[in-house]
């Protein structure tokens, strides 16, 4: 009797093929989801299915305001860390005073959007995946449909909109706190007043740097929301499936954020 | 007088040929991949009727319910609700039609992040422009009807199985639908609570003259509430008739289902041995 090898090159190729098809299918689904979410945002009112401002506000509170304490701690820590590392490195060349340039550019262009994106992916992207996954297995999404509520309008558009508003806002907050954290360290280490420190920060950075960071955070917001929903909607297999989807959504979102960050930097600096 | 036209268990005048057809299924065929799940289903449900769809696991009753709810597209055939072919309706038309339907899901499908009251109010908030006070009065009225008064501020996680079903019924009827669908309404409940759910279904029909479709495998419930019973087996209708006629059906598989007799397949010893030793002996 002929047997099929489970570990041969053909099986490996088959697995690779399946994974590729699944990935393309998920990207397609994510694109259609994004399109449908925007459709309801723009046309929902005319289709008797308006996106409720109260739902967006509720999501904005959870995604944005509730994340402020931990984001503040992390941003301040990163500011201090950058200042310490910068002073230590520049001391080799006797150029410690130039640490402000490094802090200004790396915080506004890289660290603040990245840490905000990763934090929101871990807190809110995973919560979104878990919520939608649980609703799927408990037939709550079917219930929405039979009540006559478009699930994407009700479940996806509010968090997407809230992320688009709150992630850049959190990024701006992270920039300010990280700069302040770095400033406190610099003022202690280099006998530089905070006023002078911020004056130099403003001299060393431009509006372009700020827009670079905020632009990236806007893309991260869309990625986190869409990846959370796609993973939640794909849940099968009960509570264990919800757990898997939650983990998968965090891993995918963080990977997407880091890769997008690289592409963004590459394109911005062309 | 035909059996189907006699007063039902709740004293309600049963459906008859003089009442409008509310649900019409014609030549419905559904495939999941290569597997045919429903095969040439034809049935009509008239206004005010309680139709119970029965069948064992894998008989296709949940798939049929999903078609009636417009959650699935058939491979072939049509499903008409209130005269509308639901597979040709636009999203807006389907939304309008859904306002005339209520569904009580098996597990309740209450939104776990909302209180019971907010769950019941959701269809009103989404589809009407009533003021909050009026909506709350309507919500309390429906909670009284389902014997759940005073539970509006509880979260779904704080409810018992029977209360969850009652809350699901209250949400399903909050818009005064013309058709009510119930998926396994008494499954997983003790006999007393199950019996109270059966009574609730009859009360809802008597109070609101709804057409009700119940999917269940609970024999006692089916016999207690049905005007007619549709027995499905392997995707086909075995019998669709009044309760008495179904009880007296000569079809062995109907009797097996009603009398809870397991179907014992004939075993071919050689095939059985080959199945057990597959891949070991050749």
Q: pLDDT for A12-54, tens place per residue?
A: 999 999 999 999 999 999 999 999 999 999 998 888 888 999 9
Q: Is residue B199 part of a domain?
A: yes
Position B282 pLDDT exceeds 70: no
Residues B10 and B58 in one domain: yes
Instruction: Return the structure tokens found at B33.
Output: 């991949």
Identify the pLDDT of residue B51.
Answer: 96
Chain B residue with minimum CA distance to A51: B126
Identify the pLDDT of residue A70.
Answer: 96
Closest CA of chain A from B263, distance in Å: 28
* Close Cβ partners of B151 (under 8 Å, ≥ 6 residues apart): B116, B143, B159, B163, B167
E strand segments, B16-83: 21-32, 35-46, 50-55, 76-81
Residues B122 and B241 in one domain: no
Q: What is the CATH number of the domain that holds B261?
A: 3.40.50.300
Q: Are B115 and B154 in contact (CB under 8 A)?
A: yes
Q: Is A48 within 8 Å of chain B by CB? A: yes
Residues B144 and B78 in one domain: no
Last residue of a domain, one of B155, B176, B197: B176
Q: Is residue B94 part of a domain?
A: yes
- Please tell me the distance from the alpha carbon of residue A160 to that of residue A102, in angstroms, as a whole number: 33
Residues B150 and B200 in one domain: no
Q: Is residue B163 part of a domain?
A: yes
- Please tell me the distance from the alpha carbon of residue B64 to that of residue B60, in angstroms, as a whole number: 6
Q: Is residue B281 part of a domain?
A: no
CB contact under 8 A, A139 and B107: yes
Last residue of a domain, one of B144, B160, B176: B176
Q: Is residue B202 part of a domain?
A: yes
Q: Which residue has the tokens 């911020």?
A: A198
| Beta carbons within 10 angstroms of residue B237's beta carbon | 20
* Close Cβ partners of B102 (under 8 Å, ≥ 6 residues apart): B171, B172, B173, B174, B175, B177, B179, B180, B181, B210
- How does the average pLDDT of chain A come out, rounded? 92
Q: What is the ipTM of this complex?
A: 0.80
Position B17 pLDDT exceeds 60: no
Position B162 pLDDT exceeds 70: yes
Residues B206 and B249 in one domain: yes
What's the domain range around B144? Answer: 114-176
Residue B153: pLDDT band with limits 50, 70, 90: very high
A145: chain B residues, CB-CB within 8 Å? 69, 71, 98
Closest CA of chain A from B138, distance in Å: 17
pLDDT tens figures, A80-138 = 999 999 999 999 998 888 999 999 999 999 999 999 999 999 999 999 999 999 999 99
pLDDT tens figures, A212-237 = 999 999 999 999 999 999 999 989 88
Identify the pLDDT of residue B8.
Answer: 52
Identify the pLDDT of residue B101.
Answer: 93
Please report how the helices A194-204 and A157-189 are oriented relative to each other, as an axis angle in degrees rounded to 10: 120
Position B156 pLDDT exceeds 60: yes
Residues B190 and B219 in one domain: yes
**Exposure string for B68-93, b = 16+ CB within 10 A, e = fewer:** bbbebebeebebbbbeeebeebeeee
Identify the pLDDT of residue B217.
Answer: 85
| Beta carbons within 10 angstroms of residue A152's beta carbon | 23
Nearest Cα neighbor of B54 from B263, B252, B246, B199 is B246
CB contact under 8 A, B109 and A48: no
Position B1 pLDDT exceeds 60: no
Overall domain count for chain B = 2
Residues B225 and B258 in one domain: yes
Q: Is residue B105 part of a domain?
A: no
Closest CA of chain A from B70, distance in Å: 8
Per the document, the length of chain A is: 270
Residues B129 and B191 in one domain: no
């Amino acid at each position: 009797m002929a047997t099929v090898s489970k570990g041969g090159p053909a099986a490996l190729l088959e697995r690779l093929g399946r994974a590729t098809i699944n990935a393309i299918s998920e990207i397609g689904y994510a694109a259609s989801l994004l399109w449908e979410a925007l459709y309801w945002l723009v046309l929902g009112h005319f289709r008797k299915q308006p996106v409720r401002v109260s739902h967006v506000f509720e999501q904005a509170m959870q995604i944005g305001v509730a994340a402020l304490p931990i984001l503040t701690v992390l941003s301040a820590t990163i500011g201090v860390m950058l200042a310490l590392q910068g002073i230590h490195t520049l001391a080799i060349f006797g150029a410690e005073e130039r640490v402000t340039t490094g802090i200004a550019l790396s915080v506004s262009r890289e660290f603040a959007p990245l840490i905000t994106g990763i934090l929101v992916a871990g807190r809110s992207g995973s919560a979104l995946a878990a919520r939608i996954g649980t609703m799927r297995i408990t037939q709550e999404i079917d219930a929405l449909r039979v009540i006559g509520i478009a699930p994407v309008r009700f479940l996806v558009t509010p968090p997407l909109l809230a992320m688009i508003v709150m992630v850049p806002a959190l990024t701006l907050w992270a920039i300010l706190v990280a700069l302040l954290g770095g400033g406190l360290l610099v003022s202690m280490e280099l006998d530089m007043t905070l006023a002078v420190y911020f004056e130099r920060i403003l001299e060393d950075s431009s509006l372009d740097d700020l827009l670079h960071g905020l632009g990236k955070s806007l893309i991260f917001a869309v990625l986190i929301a869409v990846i959370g929903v796609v993973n939640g909607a794909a849940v099968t297999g009960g509570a264990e499936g919800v757990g898997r989807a939650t983990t998968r959504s965090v891993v995918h979102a963080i990977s997407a954020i880091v890769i997008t960050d690289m592409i963004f930097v590459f394109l911005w600096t062309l | 007088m035909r059996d189907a036209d006699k007063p039902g268990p709740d004293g309600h005048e049963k459906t008859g040929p003089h009442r409008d057809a509310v649900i019409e299924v014609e030549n419905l065929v559904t495939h999941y991949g290569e597997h045919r799940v429903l095969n040439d289903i034809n049935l009509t449900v008239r206004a005010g009727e309680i139709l119970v769809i029965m069948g064992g696991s894998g008989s296709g009753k949940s798939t049929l319910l999903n078609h009636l709810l417009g959650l699935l597209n058939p491979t072939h055939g049509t499903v008409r609700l209130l005269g509308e072919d639901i597979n040709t309706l636009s999203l807006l038309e389907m939304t309008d039609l859904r306002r005339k339907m209520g569904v009580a899901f098996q597990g309740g499908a209450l939104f776990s992040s909302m209180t019971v009251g907010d769950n019941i109010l959701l269809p009103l908030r989404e589809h009407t422009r009533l003021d909050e006070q009026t909506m709350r009065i309507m919500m309390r009225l429906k909670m009284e009807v389902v014997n759940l008064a005073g539970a509006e501020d509880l979260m779904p996680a704080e409810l018992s199985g029977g209360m969850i079903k009652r809350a699901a019924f209250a949400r399903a009827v909050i818009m005064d639908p013309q058709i009510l669908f119930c998926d396994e309404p008494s499954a997983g409940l003790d006999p007393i609570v199950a019996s109270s759910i059966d009574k609730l279904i009859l009360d809802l029909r008597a109070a609101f003259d709804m057409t009700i479709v119940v999917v269940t495998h609970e024999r006692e419930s089916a016999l207690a509430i049905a005007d007619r019973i549709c027995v499905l087996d392997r995707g086909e209708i075995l019998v669709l008739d009044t309760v008495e006629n179904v009880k007296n059906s000569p079809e062995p598989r109907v009797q097996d289902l009603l009398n809870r007799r397991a179907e014992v397949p004939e075993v071919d010893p050689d095939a059985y041995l080959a199945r057990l030793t597959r891949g070991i002996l050749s």
